[in-house]
C-alpha cells in the first residue's frame, strides 16, 4: 500500500488522551488531521501484516441501544487487532435497560473497563454518560451525530483525492440527520466547501447549521443549504447521501418516500457533479430510494472502501484515547 501523509509535522502522537470523542465539531482541525494520519499509519501496518498491540490488556465496553453491523464489528475487530478486548453490552442485557440511572451505570462501568463506546438514540444520553464516566466515552452514533463514520469518510476522501482542503462535498437527503450534521462539521473543519440539499421540513439542526455557516464564513469557505439538489451537486467532488428513514422513524417511512421525491442520487443528477466525483454512503443503503443502483454500484462509488475505513479510523480513535 502506498504511504500517504498529511502535513502534520510537530503534532503530538497522543492529543486526545483523557478526552471523549462525542462530535467532530468539538475537535480542532489539528486533532482531526492527527487522527487521520494515525489511521493511515495503522492501515498501512495492517495491510503489511505487522500487528500493533498498542492496547494490550485494555478493555472497551460497547453499549448498544441501536443495532449495527459496521459499528459493532469494526470497533470489536479494531480492539482485537490492537491487542485489547471488547465487551458487547446490549441495553436489554444490562441494568440500564431496567431503569438503572445513566449516572450509576457510567460510574460502575468505569471501574471495569478502560473506555466505553455507545450507540444510542438521544445525544443527551451520551453527554450525560460522558459527564459521569471516568474513562473516555466514544460516540458510536446518536440521532444527532455520527463522528466515527465521518472520520472514516474523511479518510476515504483523502485516499481517493489526495487532499481535503478546497474540495466540494455535497450531501443530498434528510438534512436533520446525524450523517449530515457530522459531515457539515467535519468538512468545514478540514477546509472543504459544503452544500446540503433537503426537502422543505427536513432542515439540519438549527444550532449545528448556524455554527457551521459561521465557521465557514470566517474560513472563507462556501457553505450552502438549499432545497434544490441540482444547485447543490453542481461541481461537487464528493457526493453523499443516507437513508431517507433512519432508525426510530420507521412510522414515517411512507410519508418520507413522498416528501423525498426528486432527491434520489442517480446518474441524471450526478451529471452536474464533477466528472471524477466519488460517491459515499455510510450503509445500509436502500437501492431505488435515496440512491439508484447505477450510482452505488457504479464506477464512482467507493462505499466499500469507506466501510473498510471504519475499522482503521476507529483504531486511530481507540489508540489515541486508550493507549
Going by the annotation, the residues of the binding site are 68-71, 95, 119, 146-149, 178, 242, 246-247, 282-283, 310
Annotated binding site for L-ornithine: 178, 242, 246-247
The residue among 10, 33, 6, 112 whose CA lies nearest residue 320 is: 33
The number of beta carbons lying within 10 Å of the beta carbon of residue 101 is 12
170 assigned to active site:
no
* From 20, 174, 242, 320, active-site residue: 242
Catalytic residue at 72?
no
User: Which residue positions form the known binding site for carbamoyl phosphate?
Assistant: 68-71, 95, 119, 146-149, 282-283, 310
Report DSSP letters for 279-310, one per residue. Answer: EEE-S---BTTTB-HHHHTSTTB-HHHHHHHH
Indicate the helix (H) or strand (E) that contains 66.
Answer: none
33 catalytically annotated: no
Our answer to whether residue 149 is catalytic in this structure is yes
Residue with cell 467507493: 302
Q: At what angle do helices 29-47 and 147-161 cross, to 10 degrees?
A: 70
132 classed as catalytic: no
Q: Is 180 a catalytic residue?
A: no
Listing DSSP states for 248-278 in one string gives T-GGGHHHHHHHTTT--B-HHHHTTS-TT-E
Contacts (Cβ under 8 Å, ≥6 apart) of 184? 171, 194, 196, 204, 208, 209, 212, 223
**Among residues 33, 145, 146, 193, which one is catalytic?**
146
The residues assigned a catalytic role are 119, 146, 149, 242, 282, 310
Amino acid at each position: 500500500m502506498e504511504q500517504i501523509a498529511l502535513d502534520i509535522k510537530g503534532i503530538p502522537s497522543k492529543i486526545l488522551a483523557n478526552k471523549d470523542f462525542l462530535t467532530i465539531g468539538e475537535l480542532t482541525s489539528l486533532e482531526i488531521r492527527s487522527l487521520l494520519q494515525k489511521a493511515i499509519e495503522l492501515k498501512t501496518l495492517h495491510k503489511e501484516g505487522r500487528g500493533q498491540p498498542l492496547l494490550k490488556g485494555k478493555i472497551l465496553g460497547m453499549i448498544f441501544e441501536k443495532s449495527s453491523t459496521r459499528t459493532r464489528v469494526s470497533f470489536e475487530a479494531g480492539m482485537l487487532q490492537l491487542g485489547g478486548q471488547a465487551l458487547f453490552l446490549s441495553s436489554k442485557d444490562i441494568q440500564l435497560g431496567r431503569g438503572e440511572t445513566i449516572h450509576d451505570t457510567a460510574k460502575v462501568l468505569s471501574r471495569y473497563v478502560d473506555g466505553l463506546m455507545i450507540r444510542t438514540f438521544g445525544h443527551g444520553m451520551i453527554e450525560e454518560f460522558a459527564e459521569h464516566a471516568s474513562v473516555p466515552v466514544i460516540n458510536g452514533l446518536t440521532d444527532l451525530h455520527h463522528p466515527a463514520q465521518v472520520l472514516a469518510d474523511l479518510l476515504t476522501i483523502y485516499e481517493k483525492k489526495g487532499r481535503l482542503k478546497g474540495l466540494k462535498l455535497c450531501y443530498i437527503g434528510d438534512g436533520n440527520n446525524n450523517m449530515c450534521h457530522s459531515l457539515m462539521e467535519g468538512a468545514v473543519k478540514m477546509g472543504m466547501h459544503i452544500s446540503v440539499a433537503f426537502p422543505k421540513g427536513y432542515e439540519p439542526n438549527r444550532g449545528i447549521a448556524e455554527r457551521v455557516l459561521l465557521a465557514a464564513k470566517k474560513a472563507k469557505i462556501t457553505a450552502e443549504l438549499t432545497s434544490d439538489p441540482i444547485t447543490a451537486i453542481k461541481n461537487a467532488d464528493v457526493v453523499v447521501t443516507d437513508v431517507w428513514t433512519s432508525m426510530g422513524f420507521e412510522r414515517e417511512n411512507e410519508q418520507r418516500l413522498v416528501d423525498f421525491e426528486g432527491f434520489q442520487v442517480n446518474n441524471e443528477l450526478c451529471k452536474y457533479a464533477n466528472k471524477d466525483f466519488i460517491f459515499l454512503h455510510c450503509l445500509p443503503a436502500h437501492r431505488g430510494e435515496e440512491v439508484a443502483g447505477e450510482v452505488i454500484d457504479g464506477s464512482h462509488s467507493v462505499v466499500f472502501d469507506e466501510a473498510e475505513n471504519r475499522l482503521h479510523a476507529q483504531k486511530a480513535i481507540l489508540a489515541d484515547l486508550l493507549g
